[in-house]
A and B are shown apart, each in its own frame.
Chain A
Amino acid sequence: MSTALLAIADRVVEQAAPGEQVEAFVSRGGETEIRVYGGEIEHFVSAESEGIGIRVIRDGRTGFAYAGTLDEAAVSEVLEQARVNLQFGTSDEFAALAEPDGVAVTAQTLWNDELASFPTDRKIDLAKELERLGASFDARVRVDDANYADAHAEAAVASTTGIRTAGRENGCYVSLSTLADDGDGDAAETQTGFGFSVGRHPDEFDLERAAKDASDRATRLLGATKPTSRRLTVVFDPFVTAQFLGVISSTLNGEAVVKGRSLFRDRLGDTVAAPGFTLVDDPTNPLAYTATDVDGEGLAARRNVLVDDGVLQRFVHNSYSARRAGAASTGNAVRGGFAGTPGVGCLALSLVPGTRSQAELVADVDDGLLVQQVQGIHSGVNPISGDFSTGAAGLLISGGEVGAPVREFTIASTLQRMLLDVVEVGGDLEWLPMRSAGMSLVIRDVTMSGA
């Protein structure tokens, strides 16, 4: 239970020397991962892990150390090592731990007892059933892998500044990858698809839909050709929009702002996006896959409106970036486990959805492209300069109708222009297994680069 972890964190904090700020982050978790191939279990992973990260601040200098164990002797060593490390840092007047800010925690149901006791053989059956469904819709489709995974984690944070919080959560998902084959000899081609379903409990899975998505995604691209280069209007599928919002979020990161690395750093109050574009980070929304009650520093997670009807309203901050910006933490400290210190990031990002379906959006497009997948967002987008270029695959749109599949091309613009070129936000909001929701999104004047 988390009380045991909190006790470990408390014992570390009690050892703080006068003049020292000490924070301990303690976590313990486990995972099950089952992969099925050809009706058999390909692998079954079952594991538990734990660890502690300790931050010490003294005279404006910060030191950090961690260990992947909660063994008592190791914990003492970690505290000592963090103290040794701090002497090498530069003194920084803004360096300090988060302090309680009085914002009430929105209670969340992040733990499901039934998942914790869900039997192993039923997990295996789910993966096998998903594999069977994946190949059942189309004779050209085979399944590359079908997976069931669940994870549980408990964590506690305590500090000399009065932070003291603990909690636990669990969740599960199923996913599959598909291959669709067509043609023979030199004309032989294979395209790929994927599908998934997530939940707090396996009862929430929609296996049928995950399998159908994976089958359709692969078969739709069979026969795809390389399009000719031109400028056109793109309609992003929800999954693509979610990835796009993830890129946008790095430009609204308070740490990037205070260090002069955000292209929107001087733009608060300005119009940076088209009317109707309202971007909200809200981890208190229980529908969000990444919903949470507290952030990585133990402050209450909260709803923040970042862009309101095209106007830039706010950046997201942890306590450090906020102090430097002369603002208050927005509860956006993010932590990648016990082995690192909290950074800044959006927790559960979404656009306020519009009202129309994807089919209605497409009907308004004369020459366009329905983007089903993007490839290389990490390598072709520079969030500091704003240059956006990514590989893509999808279906051409002509006269309001979806037509031939295309692949092996890129779409390019700049982040600054794309936000202003948003035509409409779809009403088909979907929470995805990532830090962003997705919905269809129409953007005009994007360069398609192909043959």
Chain B
Amino acid sequence: MIDRDVLERVLGGAVRTGADFAEVYAEDKRSTSAALDDGRVEQVSSGRDRGAGIRVVAGETTGFAYTSDLSEAGLTRAADAAAAAAANGDDRTRTVALTPSPAHRPNRIVHEPDSIDTARKVELLRRVDDAARSVGAEIVQVSAGYGDSTKRVLVANTDGVCADDHIVRTLLRISAVAAGDGGMQTGYKVLGHTVGFEIFDTVDVDDLARDAARQAITKLSARPAPSGSMPVVIRHGTGGVLFHEACGHGLEADHIQKAASVYAGKVGQQVASPLVTLVDDGTMPGEWGTLGIDDEGHVTQRNVLIEDGILTDYMWDYLRSRKGDHPQSGNGRRQSYQHLPMVRMTNTFVLDGPDDPADIVAATPSGVYVAQLGGGSVNTASGDFVFGMTEAYLIENGEITEPLRDGNLIGNGPQVLRDIDMLGNDFAMGSPGTCGKDGQGVPVGDGQPTLRVAALTVGGTAA
């Protein structure tokens, strides 16, 4: 994308006024998307985003500028703008020597999106539309979207780092609306991986579409969710978002260093049930949060955050590592070249526990079984977090019974982690997600076995 000698000159120029670090992050991204709604392929769209973000750090101050002009002149202008905000008045020459890192590619891409005819991508949408509508006359509307992207990334900095990545993403989403006497209900399924079109060789998209349709139809007979505190069982492969919100964000070193997290100062302490081992791993092949390098050029890795309930470490990016004198963990991420990197999760999951999932439900006299969760959010300082349930059932006398209408669940992170009293042995990764923080969205994965929280507040309307 950019010649090495150009990068070396731009970086050298960026620190000539006394800054102690400069970085160029360049990306070239091509994306294709197609949307079907109301039985029509409404539109196929394609786009190209190409540019570089330049970061210059002097002490505690970061200057940042970006440009869509990748010529040496364009990069130099952006570097000057970034350096103007982070300078200490020196004027000196500094030579930067970059050492290209060997490629780290956790994913093997078989069919690059560009090699697949657009007609085949659009055909998937017609198939899922037909499959969803075939489930029942109650299905009154279906919308589906296909998206792929191919992103080349290059990161170089004044510490000599020079690394690149090639990230492919493929995604298919289906949403169905069912109508009945009691109004309308919705069903939603999404499939996404950091691989190419080969994902559709192993996943039956018709099944996915039928699942979305069945979910909507099932909810037509749903009753209002209960209200109050009660045991909640969460199905495997859907509740990773609970950990993402209950503790994931609170373990990001930027919140820790500002003492804006309930987990600050707790390394080595028991913060969760001894059943819980929590890992963030950016190297899992094919998963939505997987990368070869993070967006600061650091090779991704597997980080154990909580082991048998004991807090072992936080997640780190370049700035927080520098300040905390701690190694980077491959968690420096950004939405695009137009954004500053910060500490972010990759794929965050809880390892298997001892229990048979069937026993977990059977051991619960009454409560709620959540089969699919929606999004969530957390206040890292207070620890209060919410997440939505988009498919849930009552548990009565140890059995899953009636479907429930949508609602939020609310809990306090440290309390909920201690209240996990059963953990299944059926680990599964969940659906692709987008994690939002400080206005930036990045793709993340999550996973967990079936588990039970002894007490969570269910936000329904029934007594």
Contacts and interface: CB of A to CB of B under 8 A. Distances in A.
Interface of A: 37-38, 40-51, 62-69, 74, 81, 84-86, 88-90, 92, 144, 179, 189-192, 221, 226, 229, 259-261, 263, 339-341, 375-376, 378-380, 382, 384-387, 389-391, 393, 407-414, 447-451
21 contacts: A37-B258, A46-B65, A46-B84, A49-B338, A68-B50, A88-B44, A179-B381, A190-B381, A192-B379, A339-B49, A379-B376, A379-B377, A385-B183, A389-B408, A391-B384, A391-B386, A409-B410, A447-B227, A449-B227, A449-B459, A449-B460
A44 B407 contact: no
Interface residues of B, number: 82
B381 A447 contact: no
B460 A412 contact: yes
Contact of A45 (B44, B340, B411): B340
Given A46-B63, A375-B385, A410-B459, 11 more contacts: A66-B48, A68-B51, A88-B34, A190-B260, A261-B141, A341-B45, A385-B185, A385-B219, A389-B459, A409-B459, A449-B228
Contacts of A51: 68
Contacts of B406: 380, 382, 385, 387, 389
B43 interface: yes
Interface string B157-196: 0000000000000000000010100011110000000000
Given A386-B183, A409-B457, A190 B382 contact: yes
Contacts of B219: 385
A448 B66 CA distance: 47
A41 B61 contact: yes
A263 B183 CA distance: 8
A448 B405 CA distance: 16
B407 A387 contact: yes
Contacts of B112: none
B183 A81 contact: no
Nearest to B32: A85
A334 to B, nearest CB: 16
B153 interface: no
Contacts of A81: 46
B312 interface: no
A339 B66 CA distance: 18
B41 interface: yes
B137 interface: no
A44 B66 contact: no
Interface in B256-303: 258-260, 262
Nearest to B390: A382
A448 B118 CA distance: 50
Interface string B359-395: 0000000000000001111010110111110100000
Interface in B42-67: 42-51, 59-67
Contacts of A44: 61-64, 85-86
Contact of B46 (A43, A65, A68): A65
A192 B381 contact: yes
B321 interface: no
Query: Which 7 pairs across A and B sit closest by C-beta, in order of nearness?
Result: A410-B459, A380-B408, A379-B388, A449-B227, A44-B85, A376-B386, A389-B407
Contacts of B122: 88
A74 B68 CA distance: 12
A401 to B, nearest CB: 25
Nearest to A36: B61
A37, A43, A48, A259 interface centre (most CB from chain B within 10 Å): A43
B457 A384 contact: no
Contact of B37 (A47, A192, A259, A386): A259
A43 B228 contact: no
B458 interface: yes
A196 to B, nearest CB: 14
B198 interface: no
B40 interface: yes
B389 to A, nearest CB: 8
Contacts of B42: 62, 89-90, 92
A68 B49 contact: yes
Nearest to B455: A451
A379 B387 contact: yes
Contact of B386 (A229, A261, A385, A410): A410
B243 to A, nearest CB: 15
B51 A43 contact: no
A50 B50 CA distance: 11
A413 B39 CA distance: 33
Given A65-B45, A389-B406, A449 B458 contact: yes
A49 B52 CA distance: 11
B407 A410 contact: yes
B119 interface: yes
B141 A66 contact: no
A350 B37 CA distance: 30
B412 A408 contact: yes
A63, A81, A189, A387 interface centre (most CB from chain B within 10 Å): A387
A451 B228 contact: yes
Contact of B141 (A192, A259, A378): A259
Interface string B327-349: 00000000000101000000000
B382 A385 contact: no
B229 interface: yes
A375 B44 contact: no
Nearest to A39: B60
B459 A375 contact: no
Contacts of A191: 381-382
B382 A261 contact: no
Nearest to A410: B459
